[in-house]
Structure 1
């Protein structure tokens, strides 16, 4: 990938007087998918990415034998159809680029991790729930399964849950359903406040993936697919777009370095708040959804340790790689991931890689603080979940995401169908916020949709 120059031949044509056929603003997986589909259809997309590497929230760095993933990413064998299409088209599957995750997710309760959250093992053992909690969860699961055909990951508000929140889904049920299942699930994985975020995207996702069964990860790190998709594309890194504006001659792009480009069409593959800022002239019917599509921030602290640490567990139970920490148990830390338990190649032999995820209120408190302050606030608290963390810590990285996950609030879900039904225009959008579902699958689906909408314009 090059800074400011073309890296691949294009197959389309630009409109008279424009510099670029299709400018894709954002080199995350959504933008790369849109460019991939457009190029396959004979167009000449150019990806403009602010960072020095592609990947967006799916980025990883290599440090002395560790693969340090900035976000958290796994993919399911079910419910990730668009992602698997991309994997197969790029040949990543044939290159042994996908690994099976053999360890499980678990929840913290009573001083230890209970393996099996979202998995059949947890259904057998209870995964930390009392008999009353298990019965209530089984009842909720049965009611959801009976209506499974009415849930659509691309139309969350169309489900029986409508815009009801995660907290409302738990209302009237055993308290453990909220405290030890729903609240930690959305806080750890997506940074959501369960009192604000809608339950429908969570339930639709769990139905489509069959819970946490059959999950995989990328051998080369979470950015492996992004890099594979980007390889044949014209990607220009270090290129920040500050404003886009539709004109009679095409779409005008004003860049941070003072340069101005024109494009026949544009895909804004950036978070909705960023799209709203750089596209102030968005049509009036698009603006309400752009404004309603707010994001939850997240902080992830990745710790390189000199041995493979593990959370306290009952002897003989499966290892836990993703530890969900309920708000009632902590309040500052929402979870830990033991990356070496997810994929052995994440750390050198005999070493470990542990990440700490902050709870929503803690994220807001620490987002603007220094790395030293963040580490000082979290490392001590994380010790009980990963005994030996501080003694064996070699190096730590703080990753901040002001726009980590679309928070699927009720206002956005109510406007969702109208936004998807709008006419195709020269400026289209891509990102997981298009479907209000924080996952790489939603981002890939949105990239495909943006390409389809532009191609439909002729």
Structure 2
């Protein structure tokens, strides 16, 4: 009996939509199942009263995001829809913002670093420049840093490099605890993306890529996948229903059969859904832990921002200075379309260590705590706030622990089976580029095991209005 689909994709985040897009381009019959009521995952954008609110804090660097830019070109997204941000990143220290983080001038201006630490920053930059080819974002397990954590690696240098550079950068952008996550993926990614002056955003919201990928795809939102079962040369996807299921038991929900299934969900979710996953795959999945993320979007009646001698895009608040916040994103500076004319929009990002205690707190209390903490950096904030939204992801960002790094090589070289995986955790690269690359990789692995299509069997591409 023929399967219902060539490929079932579980999860409509960027990884899942990329995989589905590539598979459909190859003429395959693909359907995407998404539990939430919308696509985009951590890159979803919310619209409210003229504001465009990005649920996840992201940017699109000009460098180090080759797969993303190639995908945008194939989708026909013009350069004007991915404009440059053009604002500075600052670190808070000793009562004021210190701009210049991720700028070429950081060694000279300090960007929050002491004079001795600047010398060590120069030494670090020379060391990485001499070994640049060894830092491959696709193979972080092969760098000279081994499985050293960010904190262990930073111990080679002046304390400021950890406290006022590596910790606030990885804590804010990756949500990492530097004692748990490895330095290799972080250093590889920072070297690849380069200086902040080239970073860009999406016009109309960070979900632009997700919206464009969805056009022409068969996507079912509000569809809960309860279990995935591999049956020799194909797989079953159990949807909805209720009650417990065992490996090999379809349970009470609807069942969709497919030649291949791509699990585009966080590793802990994939391990739970895949009923009869091979032990060698579960080994890596179990090591791929995630940190939760939480932020509060503040809709303002005027465009406030942390005071600085240079206009800011992000203010990083190191753990050495703040135990509640990890950073503040000035969204109306990221792009003017994020807020109505004359209004403002700020994102207050919670410190990773404080998030577990906040997740079960009522949302109005979360908003109050973060906005109270942010008054220190944004004068007049309390009076300007007109509305707040709280955004949280239990599986926010992959941690890239030493154990995950050690187990990744075996996972990457595993055999090709009916069930594949995609997500930034596959690359140990917490970014949308990691999601895009993993989606494309999963699609190529799926296609390598499916029988060749005759021209008459290909599913015609749906027309996409540009």
Secondary structure of the residue that 1:245 maps to in structure 2? strand
Listed as ranges, the matches of 1:146-185 within 5 Å are 146-185=130-169
Q: Distance in 2 between matches of 1:185 and 1:270?
A: 25
Listed as ranges, the matches of 1:153-232 within 5 Å are 153-232=137-216
Secondary structure of the residue that 1:260 maps to in structure 2? strand
1:93 is the counterpart of 2:88: no
1:32 is the counterpart of 2:17: yes
| Deviation readout 1:324-383 (Å, 9 max, x if unpaired) | 111010111111101011111110111110011111111111012110221232211111
Q: Distance in 1 between matches of 2:158 and 2:293?
A: 29
Task: Tell me how far 1:242 sits from its aligned partner.
Answer: 0.9
1:61 is the counterpart of 2:46: yes
Secondary structure of the residue that 1:99 maps to in structure 2? coil
Cα RMSD (Å)? 1.2
Q: Distance in 2 between matches of 1:437 and 1:359?
A: 20
Q: Given the alignment, which residue of 410, 420, 423 partners 2:402?
A: 410
Task: Tell me how far 1:123 sits from its aligned partner.
Answer: 3.3
Task: Tell me how far 1:54 sits from its aligned partner.
Answer: 0.7
Task: Tell me how far 1:318 sits from its aligned partner.
Answer: 2.1
Q: Distance in 2 between matches of 1:330 and 1:372?
A: 21
| Deviation readout 1:382-430 (Å, 9 max, x if unpaired) | 1111211111101000001111110000000001010010011100000
- Contact 1:116/1:123 (CA < 8 Å) preserved in 2? no
1:133 is the counterpart of 2:117: yes
Worse-matched range after superposition: 174-183 or 205-214:
205-214
How many residues of Structure 1 are paired with residues of Structure 2 in the alignment?
A: 439
1:254 is the counterpart of 2:238: yes
1:267 is the counterpart of 2:259: no
Runs of at least 5 residues in structure 1 that lack an aligned partner in the other structure: 1-15
Worse-matched range after superposition: 253-262 or 332-341:
253-262
Q: Distance in 2 between matches of 1:248 and 1:442?
A: 30
2:302 corresponds in structure 1 to 307
1:118 corresponds in structure 2 to 102
Q: Given the alignment, which residue of 354, 357, 370 partners 1:365?
A: 357
- Contact 1:17/1:249 (CA < 8 Å) preserved in 2? no
Task: Tell me how far 1:122 sits from its aligned partner.
Answer: 2.8
Q: TM-score, normalised by structure 1?
A: 0.94
- Contact 1:105/1:324 (CA < 8 Å) preserved in 2? yes
Q: Distance in 1 between matches of 2:215 and 2:225?
A: 22
- Contact 2:306/2:378 (CA < 8 Å) preserved in 1? yes
Q: Distance in 2 between matches of 1:300 and 1:330?
A: 15
Secondary structure of the residue that 1:72 maps to in structure 2? coil
Q: Distance in 2 between matches of 1:121 and 1:354?
A: 26
Runs of at least 5 residues in structure 2 that lack an aligned partner in the other structure: 242-252, 451-466
Q: TM-score, normalised by structure 2?
A: 0.92
Task: Tell me how far 1:211 sits from its aligned partner.
Answer: 3.6
| Deviation readout 1:143-173 (Å, 9 max, x if unpaired) | 1111111111011010000110100111132
1:290 is the counterpart of 2:275: no
Secondary structure of the residue that 1:330 maps to in structure 2? coil
Q: Distance in 1 between matches of 2:141 and 2:4?
A: 40
Q: Distance in 2 between matches of 1:133 and 1:201?
A: 22
Secondary structure of the residue that 1:135 maps to in structure 2? helix
Structure 1: which 4+ aligned runs deviate by more than 4 Å?
Answer: none
Q: Distance in 1 between matches of 2:11 and 2:126?
A: 41
| Deviation readout 1:236-281 (Å, 9 max, x if unpaired) | 1111101000125731111124222111110000000000000031
- Contact 2:108/2:118 (CA < 8 Å) preserved in 1? no
